[in-house]
Structure formats: structure tokens, C-alpha cells
């Protein structure tokens, strides 16, 4: 590791008409300019410019605190400056797994130390880091005599954007991320907000112009700005509330359940902290090239280095499992087998599902399939007792996470998997009863160690117990991290579904492999589904914070294949499903479809067998949010590359260049393409496979169907 870190006089103190003072700091390449200081009233503010253009106009900063139940002066209303410090860092580090082998962490920083003007004054530090690809800032409350334990009431951070930008967004909602994305101007947010569909746990967006982060914006001058947060620890998640006339966005935090009688969210408790304390980083990734937004590692760099002492147990993998068949209504999670499946078809009829999916015999079939095709794991949902008692109820003590159904021999299943070179992925559905899961966690993790199961998929479906807490609130954010830390102690990898959206914590805890935290593939099977543009937006939004377990690889696109007359379907072509293994990054990728559907198309399945999940290099070749993405990745420890390109609902031709390949070498490329008559709606399963010899000089136009894609395996000769 190369590291350079030193104080440097690189910031200029500006006096503005005697009423305000600003400190200026530039990114290492000089393209981003940060201005930080106090306004004429003593309130801290900042602004950001990119290549001489304003990106964030003067925007206020601050916190609102109270000492237990006693109000105190607000950090943010009036400060006196105590000190200004600056630094420069240039270092490189290697992730345990990831998209690239080495990551450079290069920034300049400003730390403004302030004292509030209360009688018993307290100190706060505001740190900004300015990278070549963006800006991050956070608050730090050091250990001090006048501030020990306190309650966070609100955060006053704002992002005063410069115009009515085009944005890609989902409604603000502290309980779910499972919305389709909207594309609109900032001024149009309120009239475009929709309720979530397709789930029994109906969630209602926050009223007003609230949006979730990560938020993707594009200015009229074609500058891209992504707003999110990094290192979310001991703090509630942040949404943004827009003023649709001035285009200012205010940080809005999830509140807890402690004072339900208070109607004003700004007066509700947000977090319970003790000094020294730090907020998450608020992040702005900025570029005039959409490809650089996807290439940014700023959010990762704002997280702490790995705290897992021996990461040898952490192994990226592809996996299959007993999961899709339940979503299709072909089997049940519960052994009782009498649950109505009105979502099995769209013809108004109710089908009774009578076959339990998670049986020993069925699991061994998946293990055989995984072993035969080089998959590292098998997931089994519905293996443990309790599913017949819980489905959509706000109920506690349903699962114990250790007791299997009588038709599932958990010891034998793990023994058989190990004999085939496969690992079992244990499933823990909390049913939202997190207090119950906290009580069982130690016992459940020890059982996994006993069985030899090194990986876990956790689920948080439904309303949270303790009742009134949000999925994105302080209590739950603390729980998610507690579960990941405890799993690391037990050498267990975690893939979390329905958690708070990730913020780069997989750098610090690399056993946190991936999360759902967005609208995944499953919605295609029992709702209006995900529109064709969905997968072209996810990398610019949800995946900015960390890998997503999207569950790609569906070969049988239309549900009518199982239920004649059913209207539900995947809104992509088969070729695009292959390309998603590249464009939607995750170190654990599910081979999602039923084994028989892959066995019926072995030529297309070959790409899934070949594609890697851990990488030495990644090149974003083409990108425009909501329209198209083309990505190439170099498999770890090899000279083999894999490329994926996807389109939205529009047919388009992309010019692919292979100049990322080694010069002077030839490669055998296999193209898995949409057939000439393919489209997501009318002919989604039509594909062609072509082999070509290519070099770094090769340029090739490739036609993508409506909702289509292309996947390419590029093997060194």
C-alpha cells in the first residue's frame, strides 16, 4: 500500500464584504471546487463547482440536538469558527473482492471546527473530502465536557441544486425501496409519485416531494450528479425533500417510534448517540461523462478499511436454489400446502399450491445441478418451520431459525452438498420480527457453523417489530450492522433482502456480500413487473451504494408458459438476462431459473456457466441512465473478459470497441445476441450465438432489441 497523508496549505481564505468567510479547496485534478465557511449569520454553508459551472449553490449545514429531554441550541443556527484544517491523501488499497483489483483513494480535505453559541457551548467538526469524481462531507461531534449523550432531532444539510434537472428517482419511503423508478424534472416530482404495487405489504410514499437516495440527476449542460450517503453507521437513513420551485433538497431522516403523538417529523427523535459520534458521509458524485459515475469508487473510499481479521472464508459465487418455483406458484414455502395462490395466474381463478418446495429430495436435485454446472451454492427458502403460521401478519415469535420441517433433513442436505463440492446458503426470514431474530441470532449462526453452511440470505419482509420502527430507522440500521458483525465473527457471508440500501459498508465488512434493497426480478412474476428501462437505471441509483442481489438469468420469460392466460412476464429478452450478469454487479449472482429451463437451452446457459463473479478490472464502455449500458469486466486472475450491454424499451445499435484488450493478442469471442425479430414483448426468447476472433482493434456495431441486450465471453487464445 502506498500512502501519502499530510497537512498542506492548499486552501484559500476569502473574506466577502466583511460578513462571511469561505475556505476554498480543489480536487486533485482541479476540476471540482469546494467553498466552505460561515454566512453572515454564522451558519455554515458550502457550494460546489465543476469545470467552472455551479453544481451546488450555497447550501446550509447543521444539526439539531437535545440533551436527553432538554432542548439545546441548534448546531447550524449560529456558530463561531475555532479552526480550519486541511490535508491531502493519495493511497491505494486492494478490496477482498470487487470490480477492480486496486482502488486509488485520492482527495483533498477541509475540516471546519465550530462552536455553537449556547450558554454551555459544544463543538462540532464538519469534514469535506474533495475527490476527482465528487465531494463527501460529514459531521463529527468529538468527546467533550458539555456534550456526552444526546438525541439527534434533525439534520439541516441541504443540496441547493442549480436548476430543474432531469432526475431518476423513487418516492421517499423509509420502509421500502421496492418501487419502480420515475424519470422526470424536479418540478414534476409530486405529480409523478406512485404507490408501490405487487406486494401484500402495501407501503405509502411520504407526502410531498420526497425522494430516496441514491438520486441520479442530469443538468441541462449534461453534467451528471449522484446524491447518496456513505458509511451509514449508528444513524438513520437519509431521504431528500425537494422544494420543487427553488430545486433545493433537504436531508430528511427516518424517525423512530418513541413519540407517536408528535405530528411534526422534524420534532421526532432520529437517533440516540454519545460522543464521540460521526454522521454518515453525504456524497455527491459528479461528472460530465455518465461512464465515470458508474466507475466512481468514492463511496467505497469514504468507508473504513476491512475489519474482518481473517477473510479467507469470504468467497464470491454463483448459486441456484429453491426460490423461483414458489414465486411462480409451483410449490409452497410452508409444508401445509393449503395457501391460496391467487397470484398464480391472471385469469381470476385461484390455484391451490400443494407441494412443499424445500424437501430433502428436491434440494438434492438442485445440489446435483449446481455441482454439474460449477455453481458454488444452493439456496433453500421455506426449510424451517413457521411459514404456515406467518404470511403477511404482524406477528412475533414465528420462526426459531433452527428447526427444519420434517421433510427437510438439514444435516443430510449439508452433508450431501459438501460431498458434491457445493455449499448450502441458509435462509433466515425474520418476517419483520427483528426482536425475535435478535434473540435467536447467536443460536442460529452456531447451527449454521455446525451444519457447515457458510452463507446466509436474510429477509425483512413486512412491518418491523418493535412496532412503529422503520426499515431505514436508527434502530434497524443498528440491527443490520449488528447482524453483519456477528456473522463475520462466525465466518458467515450475508446477502440481505429488504434492508436499508447499502452505503459502501462492504469495504469495512466484506462478508456483507450483497443486498436486495430495491425492486428485484421477483416483481416480474406477480405484479405489473419491472419496465425495460429498470435495469438501465439501477446501476446509476441503487447499485451506487453496493452490489445488488437482483436474481438474473430467467430463460422462460412469460408466465403463461406455466399458466395459460397469465399476463405477467419478465420485461427483457433472454439475451438481456445474460447481459445482466455483467451490468448489474454482484459477487454473488443467482442462477435464478428452474434447472429444466437451462437444460432446455444448453447453448445459452453456457454463458452463465462461464461468466465470473470476481474481477480484476472493469471498463464502462457506454452509458446513459435510463437508456443503455455497456460494461466489460476482466475475470480475476485470468486474461478473460466478459461484456454485457443492455437497452431500455427502445431498439438501438451500439458501437462496441474492444480497445480494452491486450494489444497484439487474439481472443475468441462468443456473442449471445438478440435474434433479428426479438423483442421483450413479442418474441423475448429468440437469440442467436456467434463466434468471432477479435483483437483490441476490433470495432463492431451490435443491434439490441427492444428491452434487449448482448452478452459476450472473450477468452484469451
First CA to last CA distance, the chain: 33
pLDDT of residue 195 exceeding 90: no
Are residues 37 and 11 in contact, defined by beta-carbon separation less than 8 angstroms? no
Same domain, 328 and 290: no
**Domain holding 383: CATH number?**
3.20.20.70
Q: pLDDT at position 67, please?
A: 66
Proportion of the chain above pLDDT 90, given as a percent: 84
Q: 476 lies in a domain?
A: yes
Q: 510 lies in a domain?
A: yes
Report how far apart, in Å, the C-alpha atoms of 186 and of each of 156, 163, 178, 363, 501 are.
Answer: 20, 8, 21, 49, 22
Distance from C-alpha of 339 to C-alpha of 331, rounded to nearest angstrom: 10
Q: 664 lies in a domain?
A: no
Q: pLDDT at position 70, please?
A: 53
Are residues 319 and 377 in contact, defined by beta-carbon separation less than 8 angstroms? yes
Q: 573 lies in a domain?
A: no
Q: Order of strands, edge to edge, in the sheet holding 317-322?
A: 512-515, 493-497, 455-459, 423-429, 377-380, 317-322, 588-590
Name the domain count of the chain. Answer: 2
Same domain, 281 and 353: no
Are residues 559 and 328 in contact, defined by beta-carbon separation less than 8 angstroms? yes
Q: 420 lies in a domain?
A: yes
Same domain, 256 and 361: no
Same domain, 106 and 188: yes
Q: pLDDT at position 201, please?
A: 53
**Domain holding 57: CATH number?**
2.70.98.10
Are residues 65 and 5 in contact, defined by beta-carbon separation less than 8 angstroms? no
Q: pLDDT at position 348, please?
A: 42
- Lowest average pLDDT, out of 1-15, 268-282, 401-415, 440-454, goes to 1-15
Domain boundary residue among 271, 301, 331?
Answer: 301
**Region 425-432 average pLDDT:** 96
Same domain, 229 and 322: no
User: What's the pLDDT tens digit per position in 470-518?
Assistant: 999 999 999 999 999 999 999 999 999 999 999 999 999 999 999 999 9
**Count of Cβ atoms closer than 10 Å to residue 634 Cβ:** 22
Same domain, 405 and 429: yes
Q: pLDDT at position 349, please?
A: 46
**Region 589-603 average pLDDT:** 98
Same domain, 120 and 97: yes
Q: pLDDT at position 265, please?
A: 82
Active site residues: 522
Burial 542-560 (b: 16+ CB within 10 A, else e): bbbbbbbbbbbbbbbbebe
Domain boundary residue among 460, 489, 517?
Answer: 517
Partners of 389 in the beta sheet? none
Are residues 382 and 326 in contact, defined by beta-carbon separation less than 8 angstroms? yes
Are residues 479 and 435 in contact, defined by beta-carbon separation less than 8 angstroms? no
Q: Which three cell numbers stand for residue 512?
A: 456483507
* Residue-number span of the structural domain to which 473 is assigned: 316-517
- Lowest average pLDDT, out of 116-125, 269-278, 339-348, 493-502, goes to 339-348
- Give the pLDDT band (50/70/90) at residue 75: low
Q: Which residues contact 612 (CB under 8 A, 6 or more apart)?
A: 633, 635, 636, 638, 640, 642
Distance from C-alpha of 634 to C-alpha of 639, rounded to nearest angstrom: 7
Q: Which three cell numbers stand for residue 381?
A: 427458502
Q: 529 lies in a domain?
A: no
**Region 6-29 average pLDDT:** 55
| pLDDT, mean over the chain | 91
Domain boundary residue among 301, 324, 348?
Answer: 301
Q: Helix (H, G, I), strand (E, B), or coil: what is residue 414?
A: helix
Q: pLDDT at position 157, please?
A: 97
Same domain, 328 and 263: no
Q: Helix (H, G, I), strand (E, B), or coil: what is residue 565?
A: coil
**Region 152-162 average pLDDT:** 96
Same domain, 323 and 291: no
Q: 497 lies in a domain?
A: yes
- Lowest average pLDDT, out of 33-47, 193-207, 657-671, goes to 193-207
Same domain, 292 and 401: no
Same domain, 250 and 385: no
In 3D, which of 511, 601, 502 has the Cα closest to residue 553?
Answer: 601
Q: 48 lies in a domain?
A: yes
pLDDT of residue 203 exceeding 80: no
Same domain, 297 and 148: yes
Quick one: DSSP state of residue 646? E
In 3D, which of 443, 438, 489 has the Cα closest to residue 460?
Answer: 438
Amino acid at each position: 500500500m502506498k500512502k501519502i497523508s499530510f497537512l498542506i496549505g492548499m486552501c484559500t481564505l476569502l473574506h466577502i464584504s466583511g460578513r462571511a468567510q469561505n475556505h476554498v479547496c480543489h480536487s486533485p485534478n482541479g476540476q471540482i471546487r469546494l467553498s466552505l465557511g460561515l454566512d453572515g449569520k454564522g451558519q455554515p454553508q458550502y457550494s460546489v463547482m465543476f469545470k467552472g459551472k455551479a453544481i451546488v449553490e450555497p447550501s446550509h449545514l447543521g444539526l439539531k440536538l437535545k440533551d436527553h429531554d432538554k432542548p439545546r441550541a441548534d448546531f447550524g443556527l449560529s456558530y463561531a469558527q475555532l479552526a480550519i484544517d486541511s490535508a491531502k491523501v493519495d493511497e491505494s488499497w486492494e478490496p477482498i473482492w470487487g470490480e477492480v483489483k486496486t482502488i486509488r483513494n485520492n482527495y483533498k480535505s477541509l475540516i471546519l471546527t465550530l462552536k455553537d453559541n449556547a450558554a454551555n457551548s459544544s463543538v462540532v467538526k464538519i469534514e469535506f473530502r474533495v475527490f476527482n469524481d465528487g465531494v463527501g462531507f460529514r459531521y463529527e461531534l468529538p468527546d467533550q465536557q458539555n456534550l456526552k449523550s444526546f438525541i439527534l432531532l434533525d439534520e439541516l444539510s441541504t443540496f441547493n441544486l442549480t436548476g430543474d434537472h432531469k432526475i431518476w428517482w423513487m418516492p421517499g419511503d423509509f420502509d421500502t425501496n421496492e418501487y419502480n423508478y420515475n424519470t422526470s424534472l424536479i418540478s414534476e416530482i409530486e405529480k409523478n409519485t406512485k404507490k408501490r404495487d405487487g406486494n401484500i405489504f402495501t407501503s405509502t410514499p411520504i407526502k410531498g416531494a420526497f425522494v430516496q437516495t441514491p438520486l441520479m440527476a442530469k443538468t441541462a449542460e449534461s453534467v451528471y450528479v449522484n446524491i447518496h450517503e456513505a458509511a451509514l453507521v449508528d444513524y438513520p437513513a437519509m431521504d431528500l425533500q425537494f422544494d420543487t420551485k427553488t430545486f433545493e433538497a433537504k436531508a430528511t431522516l427516518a424517525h423512530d417510534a418513541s413519540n407517536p403523538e408528535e405530528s411534526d417529523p422534524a420534532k421526532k427523535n432520529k437517533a440516540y448517540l454519545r460522543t464521540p459520534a460521526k454522521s454518515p458521509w453525504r456524497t455527491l458524485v459528479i461528472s460530465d461523462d455518465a461512464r465515470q459515475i458508474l466507475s466512481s469508487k468514492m463511496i467505497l473510499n469514504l468507508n473504513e478499511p476491512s475489519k474482518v481479521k481473517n477473510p479467507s472464508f469470504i468467497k464470491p459465487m454463483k448459486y441456484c436454489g429453491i426460490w423461483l418455483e414458489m414465486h411462480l406458484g409451483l410449490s409452497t414455502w410452508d409444508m401445509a400446502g393449503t395457501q391460496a395462490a391467487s397470484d398464480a395466474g391472471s385469469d381470476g381463478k385461484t390455484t391451490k399450491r400443494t407441494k412443499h418446495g424445500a424437501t430433502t429430495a428436491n434440494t438434492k436435485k438442485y445440489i446435483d445441478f449446481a455441482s454439474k454446472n460449477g455453481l458454488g451454492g444452493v439456496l433453500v427458502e421455506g426449510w424451517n418451520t413457521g411459514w404456515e403460521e406467518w404470511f403477511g401478519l404482524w406477528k412475533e415469535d414465528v420462526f426459531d431459525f433452527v428447526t427444519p420441517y420434517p421433510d427437510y433433513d438439514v444435516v443430510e442436505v449439508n452433508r450431501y452438498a459438501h460431498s458434491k463440492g457445493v455449499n448450502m446458503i441458509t435462509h433466515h426470514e425474520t418476517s419483520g420480527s427483528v426482536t425475535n431474530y435478535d434473540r435467536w441470532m447467536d443460536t442460529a449462526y452456531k447451527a449454521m457453523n455446525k451444519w457447515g453452511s457458510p452463507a446466509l440470505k436474510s429477509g425483512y419482509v413486512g412491518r418491523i417489530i418493535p412496532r412503529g420502527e422503520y426499515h431505514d430507522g436508527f434502530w434497524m440500521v443498528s440491527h443490520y450492522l449488528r447482524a453483519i458483525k456477528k456473522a463475520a465473527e462466525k465466518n458467515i457471508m450475508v446477502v440481505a433482502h429488504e434492508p436499508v440500501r447499502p452505503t459502501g459498508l462492504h469495504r469495512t465488512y466484506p462478508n456483507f456480500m450483497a443486498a436486495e434493497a430495491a425492486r428485484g426480478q421477483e416483481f416480474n412474476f406477480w405484479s405489473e413487473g419491472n419496465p425495460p428501462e429498470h435495469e438501465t437505471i439501477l446501476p446509476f441509483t441503487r447499485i451506487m451504494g453496493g452490489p445488488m442481489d437482483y436474481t438474473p438469468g430467467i430463460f422462460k420469460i412469460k408466465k403463461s408458459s406455466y399458466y395459460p392466460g397469465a399476463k405477467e412476464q419478465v420485461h427483457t429478452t433472454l439475451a438481456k438476462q445474460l447481459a445482466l450478469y455483467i451490468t448489474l454487479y454482484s459477487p454473488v449472482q443467482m442462477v435464478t431459473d428452474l434447472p429444466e429451463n437451462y437444460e432446455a437451452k444448453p447453448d445459452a446457459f453456457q454463458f452463465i456457466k462461464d461468466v465470473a463473479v470476481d474481477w480484476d478490472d472493469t471498463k464502462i464502455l457506454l452509458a446513459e441512465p435510463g437508456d443503455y449500458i455497456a460494461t466489460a469486466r476482466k475475470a480475476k486472475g485470468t486474461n478473460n473478459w466478459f461484456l454485457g450491454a443492455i437497452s431500455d424499451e427502445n431498439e438501438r445499435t451500439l458501437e462496441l470497441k474492444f480497445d480494452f484488450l491486450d494489444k497484439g493478442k487474439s481472443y475468441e469471442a462468443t456473442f449471445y445476441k438478440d435474434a433479428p425479430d426479438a423483442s421483450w414483448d413479442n418474441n423475448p426468447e429468440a437469440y442467436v450465438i456467434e463466434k468471432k476472433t477479435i483483437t483490441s482493434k476490433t470495432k463492431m456495431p451490435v443491434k439490441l432489441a427492444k428491452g434487449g441486450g448482448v452478452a459476450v465471453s472473450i477468452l484469451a487464445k
